[in-house]
Chains A and B, each alone.
Chain A
Amino acid sequence: MDTDTAILARGLRKDYRGGRVALDGVDLRVGAGTVHGLLGPNGAGKTTMVRVLATLLSFDSGRAWVAGADVVARPWVVRERIGFVGQYAAVDEVLSARRNLEMFGRLYHLGRRRSRSRAQELLERFDLVGAADRPVRTFSGGMRRRLDLAAGLVLDPRVLFLDEPTTGLDPRSRGQVWSMVRGLVAGGTTVLLTTQYLEEADRLADRISVMDTGRVIAQGTPGELKERVGGGRVEVVVGRTEELGVVAQVLERMAGAPPSVDVDALCVRAPLAGGGGALTKVVRALDEAGLDVEDIALRKPTLDEVFLALTGQEGDGSGDVGGRGSW
């Protein structure tokens, strides 16, 4: 494992008892100081992967190194160098935020005084000073998540694992978590993050691995993945149903491929290479055909479409928190 690799996994396999294959030969390399996104539908094996790398779960075959140490041979070394923020908040509900952080500091063997000052630092950084001495059970989901994140950072980890860090957060708290992650990475931390939100991966990750049923089915930068499903698309919305046919003819001539017609939305879509210049030509051609369009837009492919194309299913199934379709 070379010095600019923070996480390296080779052929990881994990069968849970009961015969389910959760990891089916996963390879992964995460460069030091980068954010890597693990993206995949429910049950893809994201949590399993993160838990294996964080020394929480044993696996059946393959090897893995994190922050320079083998997770099986030297788990205690790995534990000194990582932070782990699980899918569900793992802080003590009864204790106050401050007591939680101090306790984790002690268990990292920081000593009483250092634990105390570190707790104060983290409370300030995560904007929890006002609530620091309240029991955590009185916290909102967002506050709890921030505390959870702070607890993962007590030791300034070299590698931070975040399992769905923003699930269930409102857009504002989500933005806060994102900017914290960016801050950490600017400071040199490596982050492995799982998410079902494509927007999150798109915004945060330098590279993405798309997982499905225990396998990595695609890897690359967000841009590379988007290119895999082709270039942009033009969408034309008209006022009356009769106009759809003419628009489709025009677009077919311009795009060289049959457009898809959505009668309900009064919309015609067609693949279009060439960006803004090509769009101008489409507008002109429609104008020459004497059509009065309601709306015309050039759409870039989204990670959502990538996801759909790769896994054959809808990406963000819950769709509860904003962002989907707006990017």
Chain B
Amino acid sequence: MVSGGEWALGAVGGARSWSRRLGWVVADSAVVARRYLAHLVRKPDELVGTLMIPVLAVLLFGFVFGEAMGAAMGLGGDGYRDFLMPGLFALTMAFGIGNTTIAVVSDVGRGVVDRFRTLPMAPSALLVGRSMADVVAALVDLVVLVGMGLLIGWRWHLGVGAALAALGLLLLLRVAFTWVGIWLGLMVRSPESAMKFFSLVFPLAMVAETFVPAEMVPVWVAPVAEWNPLSATVLACRELFGNTAVAGQGWVAQNAVLMALVWPLVLLAVFVPLSVVRYRRLSR
């Protein structure tokens, strides 16, 4: 059935030159990303779902407990809200993991992934495309939250450049968490088991610099709060936005911007290869 000449045709995917391969990875990932973004547009509940918790947190912690928290920390209500917003930005980035995991595990379960795997597309495109879509979704999240912050009196104080750098760090954190989510999605068997897992992770996202400084939590959880990847980003954002900060003594607090770069890069270095290997193993 195959004569010599036809192999050349077959070489479309077979021309394994690096630049060509990379070109296909980008092009195919963009197609996959558009698919996930179309989901977001057609089923906005995912977006609303991720935003619900931080928006409620703004109301709850900003106003219901805000005065008390602010008083306890010696900041006052307005000061506490200024302190709070960067924490909520980062928390929202963390909650994105849930959407990613659920999307990946349901795709694998439904067999859509099977179809993708029989196409002559770049094998990594499904995962890369998902992470691209997540960055776009994260941008939407951030726009809504920044708008909300501005409404309740939160401001950036150190110029647009520093503010954009802070947003960049938040997006970097989201990309890193996305790959954690992708890996989890490839590991768990069903969306239900993923949910169970998240009820364990949920408190972990709270034990960070998000709502109170690490200095104010009990001594035995303080290291967790300090070395939580979320904390570095929260502290770095407070620094770059020029928001109220509670002078931290810890090493992470002293090197927040550096750690806000290191932590996501470490997570990426671990979870990108793990996810790719796991994806390949779907053929076992």
Residues of A within 8 A of B (CB): 1, 3-6, 17, 32, 51, 54-58, 67-69, 74, 76-77, 79-82, 84, 86-95, 99, 103-104, 106-109, 135, 151, 158
| Interface 9-mer from B110-118, B182-190, B199-207, B253-261 | B110-118
Determine whether the beta carbon of B1 is less than 8 Å from that of A67.
yes
Instruction: Decide if B247 is an interface residue (CB 8 Å cutoff).
Output: no
Instruction: Decide if B151 is an interface residue (CB 8 Å cutoff).
Output: no
In the complex, besides A74-B14, A107-B120, A108-B121, 19 extra interface pairs with C-beta distance below 8 angstroms are: A3-B2, A4-B1, A5-B1, A6-B1, A17-B284, A56-B118, A57-B284, A76-B14, A77-B13, A80-B13, A80-B120, A81-B10, A82-B118, A84-B115, A88-B110, A92-B112, A95-B38, A95-B42, A106-B31
State the majority secondary structure of interface residues on A.
loop
Q: Mark B1-38, 1 if CB is under 8 A from A, else 0.
A: 11100110110111000000000100110011011001
Instruction: Decide if B43 is an interface residue (CB 8 Å cutoff).
Output: yes
Determine whether the beta carbon of B114 is less than 8 Å from that of A109.
no
With both chains docked as a complex, state the minimum distance between the C-beta of A148 and any C-beta of chain B, in angstroms: 9
State the majority secondary structure of interface residues on B.
helix
With both chains docked as a complex, state the minimum distance between the C-beta of B187 and any C-beta of chain A, in angstroms: 15
Q: Which residue of A lies closest to B119 (CB)?
A: A107
Q: Cα distance A12–B117 when bound, in Å?
A: 21
Q: Cα distance A6–B10 when bound, in Å?
A: 16
Q: Which residue of A lies closest to B281 (CB)?
A: A58
Q: Cα distance A82–B31 when bound, in Å?
A: 21
Q: Cα distance A109–B12 when bound, in Å?
A: 9
Which residues of chain B are within 8 angstroms of A32 by Cβ–Cβ distance? Answer: 1
Instruction: Decide if B157 is an interface residue (CB 8 Å cutoff).
Output: no
Q: Choose among B3, B7, B42, B119 the residue that contacts A108 (Cβ–Cβ < 8 A).
A: B119
Determine whether the beta carbon of A84 is less than 8 Å from that of B1.
no
The A-contacting residues of B in range 119-137, CB under 8 angstroms, are 119-121, 125
Q: Cα distance A58–B284 when bound, in Å?
A: 6
Which residues of chain A are within 8 angstroms of B284 by Cβ–Cβ distance? Answer: 17, 57-58
The A-contacting residues of B in range 64-123, CB under 8 angstroms, are 110-112, 114-121
With both chains docked as a complex, state the minimum distance between the C-beta of A301 and any C-beta of chain B, in angstroms: 35
* B side interface size, CB within 8 A: 35
Residues of B within 8 A of A (CB): 1-3, 6-7, 9-10, 12-14, 24, 27-28, 31-32, 34-35, 38-39, 42-43, 110-112, 114-121, 125, 283-284
Q: Choose among B111, B112, B118 the residue that contacts A79 (Cβ–Cβ < 8 A).
A: B118
Determine whether the beta carbon of A90 is less than 8 Å from that of B120.
no
Determine whether the beta carbon of A94 is less than 8 Å from that of B120.
no
How many residue pairs at the A-B interface have CB separations less than 8 Å? 108
Determine whether the beta carbon of A76 is less than 8 Å from that of B120.
yes
With both chains docked as a complex, state the minimum distance between the C-beta of A90 and any C-beta of chain B, in angstroms: 4
Which residues of chain A are within 8 angstroms of B115 by Cβ–Cβ distance? Answer: 84, 86, 90-91, 104, 151
Determine whether the beta carbon of B111 is less than 8 Å from that of A103.
no
With both chains docked as a complex, state the minimum distance between the C-beta of B246 and any C-beta of chain A, in angstroms: 44
Q: Cα distance A55–B13 when bound, in Å?
A: 15
Determine whether the beta carbon of A3 is less than 8 Å from that of B42.
no
Which residues of chain B are within 8 angstroms of A81 by Cβ–Cβ distance? Answer: 10
Q: Cα distance A90–B118 when bound, in Å?
A: 11
Which residues of chain A are within 8 angstroms of B3 by Cβ–Cβ distance? Answer: 3
Q: Cα distance A74–B11 when bound, in Å?
A: 10
Q: Cα distance A50–B221 when bound, in Å?
A: 53
Determine whether the beta carbon of B38 is less than 8 Å from that of A99.
yes
Which has the most chain B C-beta neighbours within 10 Å: A1, A77, A95? A77
Which residues of chain B are within 8 angstroms of A67 by Cβ–Cβ distance? Answer: 1-2
Check A76/B13 contact, CB under 8 A, given A6-B1, A92-B35, A94-B42: yes
Determine whether the beta carbon of A103 is less than 8 Å from that of B10.
no
Which residues of chain A are within 8 angstroms of B35 by Cβ–Cβ distance? Answer: 92, 95, 103
Determine whether the beta carbon of B120 is less than 8 Å from that of A108.
yes
Which residues of chain A are within 8 angstroms of B39 by Cβ–Cβ distance? Answer: 94-95
Which residues of chain A are within 8 angstroms of B9 by Cβ–Cβ distance? Answer: 80
